[in-house]
Amino acid sequence: MRNPFSRSALGAAAVAGTIALSWLLAGPSRAAEDAVIIPPPAMDAKAADGIQTAVVAGGCFWGVQGVFQHTAGVLNAVSGYAGGAKKTAEYEMVSTGTTGHAESVEIKFDPKQISYGKILQIFFSVAHDPTQLDRQGPDTGTQYRSEIFTLNDEQKKIADAYIVQLKAAGVYKKPIVTKVGTLEGFFPAEAYHQDYLTRHPNQPYIAHYDIPKIRNLKTIFADTYVEKPTLVSSAKATD
């Protein structure tokens, strides 16, 4: 049976944010996956000058973007596509699961305020469940896979080492399936996907699966959480 809370089931009306909140109240009682408290990475990057970039994929980009928009030190977080070609970086095509793309988020951050390793800790802890293979919650397909797209050798070493560390720590009940790949290109998603969580907090999918992630961020990473999100529409980060 199709899950009525999956994005495919919500369809165009959900994308427009027009479904009534009453539908949410009649839905399942269990919301997003529980957050997992995990140790910080033993290997991390040193603070450096200039804006840096991280790209991660962890299911629907609405929630992942929302988490990092509420994270101190993040100057911009953009929903988009990574893992495939530019010509197929379009929502309807990516949704077929045949393009190689994953719904991803490009994070511009100040390494003097937040480290690359801290971003990964938040990614693994509250932004998604790294034990779900080619899916996240109600969404299934390779476009919803868990993957870290690295921009350089240092990021790859940190990501690989952190996954090994988390596996050894046994903090998850199931094996971590997160991939680590080299970023070949990041392509921003359509405008209506940007800042989606903030613009549609009462949309059933957002309220059920993604708002709890923001609450978990505030609870587990209180020293990193910021109440006012940094939105794409107002971000000052530059390439």
Tell me the two tokens of residue 65.
């973007």
Q: Give residue for tokens 């094996």.
A: 175
Query: CB of 94 within 8 A of CB of 81?
Result: yes
Give the residues across from 103 on adjacent strands: 81
Tell me the two tokens of residue 81.
């596509």
Active site residues: 60
Cα–Cα distances (Å) from 74 to 50, 122, 152, 231, in that order, read 13, 12, 19, 10
**In whole angstroms, what is the distance from residue 204 CA to residue 5 CA?**
7
Query: CB of 237 within 8 A of CB of 75?
Result: yes
* Secondary structure class of 180 (helix, strand, coil): strand
**In whole angstroms, what is the distance from residue 188 CA to residue 79 CA?**
6
